Amino acid sequence: MNKTGHATHDHTTSSERSELMLLVLLAGLIAVYMIIRYGGHWGENDTATFTRAIRSVADTGMLSPGPDYGVYTNGYNYSALVVFLMNLCGLTLADLQLYVAPLLMVWLVFPAWLAYRELTGTARGASLATVIILTQPELLFVLLRGTHEKFTRGLMLLCLYLLMRSLRSRQAPAYFAGYVLAFYLVGYALITSNNLMAMSFTIATGTALGFVWVISRRQVSPSQSAGITIRRLGYITTTLSILSFVFLFYIYTPALGGFLLLKTMWEQTSSLVLDTGTAASNPYAVVNSLWIHPLVYVVLSLANWLLLIASATVWIVQGLNWWRRRPGPQTINELLLWAYYGAFAVQCAVSIVVDVSGALASNLQLRVFPSFALLAAPLVAKYLVDARPKSMRLRRIGNAALWLGLGVLALLSTLKATSDPLLSNKWFFYTPGEMRALDWAEVALQQQGLWLEYDERLFAAERIRNGASALDMYPDWGEVDPGTQDFLISGVTHSRSVRLAQPLPIEADSFLTYDNGQAQIYHRRPRTPYQP
Amino acid sequence: MNIRTAINSGTISLLALMLAWGFALCIPARAAAADAPIPCQVTSDTPFGSEGRRQMQLNCDLAERGALDDRLTIITGSGSAGSPATWPAVADLDDAVWIFDYQGNSTVELIVTFHRTGSALVAELYDAQQDPNRLNYTLNDGEVTFNNQLSPTMRVTAPGGWWTRGELINFNLDISVDGLLDAAFDMRSRLRKYVKTDGIVDFVIRIRDTNENGRPDYDWRTVNPPVEELRALQRTFFTVNAKDNEAPLVPALPWPYLGKETYGYLTASAHNTSQPPIQVNWDTGTITAVGEFVTSRGNDAQWFVYSFEEVKEGQMNWPNFESPFAWYDLAEDQDRQPELAVRLGYHWADDVLFVKGQYPRPINFVRYSWDQDNNGYWDYKLGLLGSHEVTSTVAVDNVRMGIVPYEQLPQWVIERSWPVATFVAAEGVRARGEGIYEWDPSSWLTEQYYTGRSDSPFPPPESPSDDKRNLRVIPAGFRGEYQLDLGGKLWLYISAIDHKLHLLRAQEGVWNIDEHSTMRYANPDGDPYLDQWRYIVGGELQSELNLSNGYLVYSARDEVSIKRVQVSPASAQLQPPHGHAEWLALGEKLASERPAFKPTDLRAMLEQFAGPSWHFPNASARDFRPDGNGFRFVLELQPGFHASDSDPLNLAGLEAGPYVVTFDGSFHVRPLTPPALSLALTLQPLEGAGSAVNAPLLMHAHAINTGLEDARNLTLVAEAHHGEKSIEITRQSVDVLSQNPVDIDLTWQPTVAGTWLVEVRLEDQTGYGKTNATLPIEAPVSEEGSQQTILSASTGHGQRLVAYLVLVALALSAGLAVRLNRARAEVEAEP
């Protein structure tokens, strides 16, 4: 290599390093913003649920402590990891969930970059794709929470990376064996993190196999690597299915319990394919009530829409070209990226149909979309890297629009992912006074119902804050339970009542039983001999 | 029928009755096990296999149809050659196979295999379950091999190693049931979706006869519910015979527990003999029931526990739901017909089965029914609600339960205070079953009102009605009374006015005489006694009697009578019977108080007393109510009325028309004036509160009626108006009685800023507004909803700037990463 070549290579390596550092910085800043925005005074339902599951594991030293404990029925990985970190760092569970969990999302940058380098074929494509996924609000939302998802998504990307590497290392048996072994280890870790999402990945692999087969059949001279890839995808689908089966039926039986609770075969099949475990009924109309204006939702979700439209266009054009036997896929990686995208797009489409029908759950799209986005980002990134308008002026405008646009999208997506109360009607924050009022209520209102606002905001916060210790009272929120006689009303509750145009549930002649300046507790005046 | 025939048939009937009674008394405690009543005839007896087995063919009458059309094949155990081949001596119950072919059509309906395991005897029962091919089998050297893979529907084990000893039947049995049978109360329909014969035991039944006298002492059943129904189904059914007087079993077959379909799971009728509990429908070849070995209802000395919480051996158990339901022989006549049934329902504090575990006290619901005249029908019942913790323990063998002991239960109920009580008398109906069900505390009363979850004891009109438990209505033939704030022990009294048994301190009552006519009872002055009787026919008031301040005031359509009486409202006051002596005493007292007049004849109730009285024909009275220390009513004088001499009302000289009569030690009569209603609405100032958006406001409505006519059945409507927007604040029923101001507090929050006008009005039943009042309220724009307030609350002041900087920095780093990326692309693209 000549001197110029060395210089270019050095420049490239240095630039790659800089980009990677910037990506880590970007992910770190998003996490830091989440922490600083609420000063650690935040709570969220799924994080609270996981806090309870982690508490069960920490208290008993068992991954599946039994029916009397709250466990996360779809996997134990995150609970075990947090317990390990608690012991390693000497941090409390609450501190880990509130301060460390958002920061842990930074790790996703590495498997994402590695996988995208394989899928796009270039480091530039990898960096661009990683920036794109860090501007996806739906993905950021699940990464910032104290739940398994940051690891589940990362492990999925790691699986893709190891799959690609193993396909490229067939000529080096030692490497090949290492990558295959590593793939199945990571695959099992994915199953232990969330067996439903792992099954979703397995099904996607099977679907991708179908896409690869279809395209390879259309080629004039199918490559040998296509056949090998199809076989590998078949082995992977089969092996991961067996591992999931063993996990479900023998290793972690709470997962089976949750699975069996789904009443119909349709529900069970759908949950396996579409990665959900809960049933609800609330299709997309909820958007209007979650944001101060529907337009705000559209603007904050711009990154989702742009990615959806751009990736779908690229995928369709690419697919049509290959179908028409114009130049086929240049590499097997390109074909695999296209096939996996198609597989997750199918899941996404089915989930939207299921959502609208209300047959299984209302938020499937929310669960499947991040997986879809993880494959859409490299598809678009690869197109952007490959696209090179001849006009320098056009290139400059395009480049400027891209970096400016992604910068703005990063800002908007962060606001959406953190559910900023200035824009969102779903609030995660609390005030210290509200927690002091709850502390008082836990002593003074034992075994009494206490209304805690229009949603689970304070209950989730309290559950995380106290490390999921049992509450000796009956927390109540939303529509008032008839048995509830006490109500926690704070300044935030007043603000929320105005924002939601919901009246406060107290009557004017209620007794004021507690007041710390920031929050009050009222007791409803008894109307019968049997009301306390 | 002539007299002689009648005498003869009567004599024969009497003799037959005496014989039957004598037979019943003479039934030995040890039932005749060997004397199987089903007739069978041995048709062949051949050696079978190489181990000395025999195969016998019998013709039987399994369903007792009168013909030996059914085939029974018995393959005896090894070494049984030489035994007599006569029925029932051929019965080998130690090591044998019995194959039942009902109607002899070569289709097997049931196969029972008997064998010995250790010292225990085991019988396994396989039924065809409507499938003629299910029990296809092959005989190999004396062994039955099923061609299908089958699990026994039942496995009966006698750990003692015997089924019968002479006439004595063994009732120490362990039974497991695998399939959808009637093997626990009301479980068949509930388990229909989940249970089949699949090798998984669905019911475990333990029968014990501790003194081995052939009469089972207890019958303990455990249901193993599917996971989906783990919380929703009762799991334990535990029945105990308290006096070891279970009716003896009359076997149908040498194996005494098996027979045709008879009583199903249980019989509530008193019975002197029992039938085989394992019942087979021979037509379908299905074991349909494992009936109670110890009767839960058809006897007069037993108790049972039905519990959602599983009762287990060797631990302390706290059963919930019916724990216990006990039956007593108050008459001490040992006729197996109970005179008292006490159902104590119980949930401990925070039991998840009661209002989702959100009630911090225990809950008791009691049905206390008794048969006062010992005719086999329930006469009275009390329905009670309370929160008494059960602290006593009962042990049955090795099973310990936290329940009230059988012997103490009636006393336990009587000596406690009960907040809510209903009392029901069966006046014209023959009530049977588990007691009088009418006016058991309804689920609304129990779960909503008593727990404080609702302000009203009555469910909203749109709720599904439960007529038997709705305190607004009662089925024909029943008389009911209730008190929802009793707060004391239970006392009954016999009224000196109508001579019926009543609940002391009842707030009101109703007797549905025959759907068309009703007697309503009320207690307007709130003393312990009912003192108003209103007889209504076809929805129209026929007559009314009131007792107040030593006067009885009777009114009918065209007459009014007033009588000064010296009478105590109660001729006797006593507690509900809880033992033989109290039961007898109440019966005697009721018999001595039985009136000579019709129970609906209110005039006769008036005339039974001596005292000065005044009769006013062509007059009627209405709206009788207490007033201060006396009472008042409206007297309608019709043309042609006349007053008697020495009339204390001084009606002489008055013109026809309506008058108000008041009594405050003496009578006063004034012409009636119509209601004159006025209404005022004021804002009640609250400390630290002002009118603002979503800030609750307290308003006070004050209604007064200056007329002499009461204004009843009005509706107070309050509405808030803001521009085109109108919000109903409340709509509630209200009576504004003459000279009795009514004060009503209203609470409301303005939902948007601006000027509101709050209006209250009183409407009559047609919706016509009688009077109204308004109040303007200014609600300023709330600062609570401003973005500045929300930003302040959600971010600490010191962190806000940092947060903004981080937000900008992350946007910059995203942009910078992309810019670097694109720049590198340009560099790499350079030739």
Residue in A37, A495, A506 closest to B789 by CB: A495
pLDDT digits 0-9 by tens, A471-486:
788 999 999 999 999 9
How far, in Å, CA of A422 to CA of A434, rounded?
A: 20
Which among A26, A404, A501 has CB closest to B817?
A26
Q: Residue A288 has what pLDDT?
A: 66
- Closest residue in B to A132 (Cα) is B814
What pLDDT, on the 0 to 100 scale, is given for residue B785? 82
**Mean pLDDT throughout A201-226?**
85
Residue numbers in B near A530 (CB within 8 A): 419, 449-452
Among A260, A404, A474, beta carbon nearest to B815: A404
Sorting pLDDT into bands at 50, 70 and 90, what band is A12?
low
Nearest chain A residue to B227 by CA distance is A261
* Minimal CA separation from A503 to chain B, in Å: 6
Residue with more model confidence, B468 or A18: A18
- Token representation of residue B742: 């009514």
Q: How far is B787 from chain A (nearest CA, A)?
A: 6
Q: Do A497 and B823 touch (CB under 8 A)?
A: no
pLDDT digits (tens, 9 = 90+) for B399-426: 999 999 999 999 999 999 999 999 999 9
For position A287, what pLDDT does the model report? 63
Question: Strands A474-476 and A449-451, how do they pair?
Answer: parallel
Q: State the nearest Cα–Cα gap between B306 and chain A, in angstroms.
A: 24
Q: Which of A36, A402, A474, A490 to mutate to test the interface with B (most CBs of B within 10 A)?
A: A36
The per-residue pLDDT of chain B, averaged, comes to: 90
Q: What is the pLDDT of residues B562-574, one digit of tens each?
A: 999 999 999 999 9
Interchain pair A530, B749: CB under 8 A: no
The pLDDT value given to residue A277? 46
pLDDT tens for A225-269 read 788 899 999 999 999 999 999 999 999 988 886 666 555 545 555
* Higher local confidence (pLDDT), A466 or A443: A443
Chain B interface mutation, best of A33, A498, A502, A523, highest count of B Cβ atoms under 10 Å: A498
What is this structure's pTM?
A: 0.83
Q: What are the CA-CA distances from residue B409 to residues A86, B346, B415, B486, B803 (Å)?
A: 55, 13, 10, 21, 69
Q: What is the pLDDT of residue B460?
A: 84
CA A267/CA A349 separation, integer angstroms:
17
Per-residue pLDDT of A307-341, as tens digits, reads: 999 999 999 999 999 888 677 788 889 999 999 99
Of the residues B444, B453, B813, the best mutation for testing chain A's interface (the one with the most A CB atoms within 10 Å of its CB) is B813
B-chain CB neighbours of A526 within 8 Å are: 452
Q: Assign B705 to helix, strand or coil.
A: strand
Does B768 have pLDDT greater than 90?
Answer: no
Segment A130-168, tens digit of pLDDT = 999 999 999 999 999 999 999 999 999 999 999 999 998
Q: Which residue has the higher pLDDT, B822 or B345?
A: B345
- With an 8 Å Cβ cutoff, are B810 and A414 in contact? yes
Residue B661 is given by DSSP the state E
Q: What is the pLDDT of residues A376-406, one digit of tens each?
A: 999 999 999 988 788 888 888 999 999 999 9
Residue B623: pLDDT above 70? yes
- Cβ pair B812:A485 closer than 8 A: no
| pLDDT top residue among B4 and B756 | B756
Residue B19 clears pLDDT 60, i.e. is over it = no
CB contact under 8 A, A529 and B747: no
Q: Do B794 and A12 count as a contact with CB atoms less than 8 A apart?
A: no
**For position B232, what pLDDT does the model report?**
82
Banded model confidence at residue B624, pLDDT cuts 50, 70, 90: very high
Choose from B7-11, B711-715, B789-793 the range with maximum mean pLDDT. Answer: B711-715
> pLDDT at residue B21 above 80?
no
Per-residue pLDDT for A30 more than 80? yes
> Which of B451, B799, B802, B821 to mutate to probe the A interface, most A CBs <10 Å?
B821
**Chain B interface test: which of A68, A474, A485, A530 (most B C-beta within 10 Å):** A530
> What CA–CA distance (Å, rounded) separates B635 from B55?
95
> Which residues in chain B have their CB less than 8 angstroms from residue A411's CB?
807-808, 810-811
**If DSSP codes are grouped into helix, strand and coil, which group holds residue A41?**
coil
Q: b/e for A291-318, b at 16 or more Cβ within 10 A?
A: beeeebbeebbbbbebbbebbeebbeeb
3-state secondary structure B34-62: CCCCCCEEEEEEEEECCCCEEEEEEEECC
Higher pLDDT, B3 or A522: A522
- CA distances for A408 relative to A18, A422, B650, angstroms: 21, 18, 97
pLDDT (0 to 100) of residue B469: 67
Residues of B in contact with A431 (CB under 8 A): 793
Question: pLDDT at position B206, please?
Answer: 98
- Round to whole Å and give the CA distance between B86 and B807: 100
Report CB contact under 8 Å: B818, A499.
no
- Mean predicted confidence (pLDDT) in B114-142: 93
Q: Is the pLDDT of residue A285 over 60?
A: no
Confidence of residue A278 (pLDDT cuts 50, 70, 90): very low
Q: Which residue of B454, B814, B823 is in closest CB contact with A410?
A: B814
- Distance from C-alpha of A315 to C-alpha of A317, rounded to nearest angstrom: 6
Q: Is the pLDDT of residue B25 over 60?
A: no
Q: Which of A257, A409, A530 sits opposite B452 (nearest CB)?
A: A530
- As a whole number, the mean pLDDT across chain A is 88
Neighbours of B296 (CB within 10 A): 24
Q: What is the mean pLDDT of residues B326-334?
A: 97
Q: ipTM score of the complex?
A: 0.90
Cβ-defined contact of A509 to B809 (cutoff 8 Å): no
DSSP assignment letter at B227: G
Interchain contact, A410 vs B810, CB within 8 Å: yes
Identify the pLDDT of residue B382: 98
Q: Do A411 and B810 touch (CB under 8 A)?
A: yes
d(C-alpha A80, C-alpha A53), whole Å: 10
Residue B30 confidence (pLDDT) = 37
Distance (Å) from the C-alpha of residue B808 to the closest C-alpha of chain A?
7
Q: CB-CB: which of B789, B791, B814 is closest to A406?
A: B814
To the nearest whole angstrom, how far is the Cα of A273 from the nearest Cα of chain B?
A: 24
**Which of these ranges, A173-177, A397-401, B42-46, B782-786, has the smallest mean pLDDT?**
B782-786
- What pLDDT digit, counting tens, does each position of B305-314 carry? 999 999 999 9
Residue A517's pLDDT band, with cuts at 50, 70 and 90, is very high
Interchain CB distance below 8 Å, B358 and A483: yes
In this predicted structure, what is the pLDDT of residue A16? 82
Cα A479-A483-A486 angle, rounded to 5 deg: 80
- For B818, the closest of A29, A128, A482 (CB atoms) is A128
Residue count of chain B: 831
Residues of B in contact with A12 (CB under 8 A): 824, 827-828
Cα A62-A65-A70 angle, rounded to 5 deg: 120
pLDDT at B33 over 90: no
Please count the residue pairs, one from chain A and one from chain B, whose beta carbons lie less than 8 angstroms apart: 198
Read off the pLDDT band of B653 (50, 70, 90): confident
Reported as a single tens digit per residue, the pLDDT across B189-207 is 999 988 999 999 999 999 9
- Element (DSSP H or E) covering residue B564: strand B559-564
Interchain pair A19, B749: CB under 8 A:
no
Let me know the angle formed at the C-alpha of A468 by A462 and A472, rounded to the nearest 5 degrees. Answer: 75
> Radius of gyration over alpha carbons of chain B, in Å?
38
Amino acid at A512: L
Higher pLDDT, A170 or B440: B440
**Nearest chain B Cα to A446, which residue?**
B360
B86 CB-near residues (< 8 Å, 6+ apart) = B42
Of B698, B812, B824, the CB nearest to A509: B698
Instruction: Give pLDDT, residue A7.
Output: 53
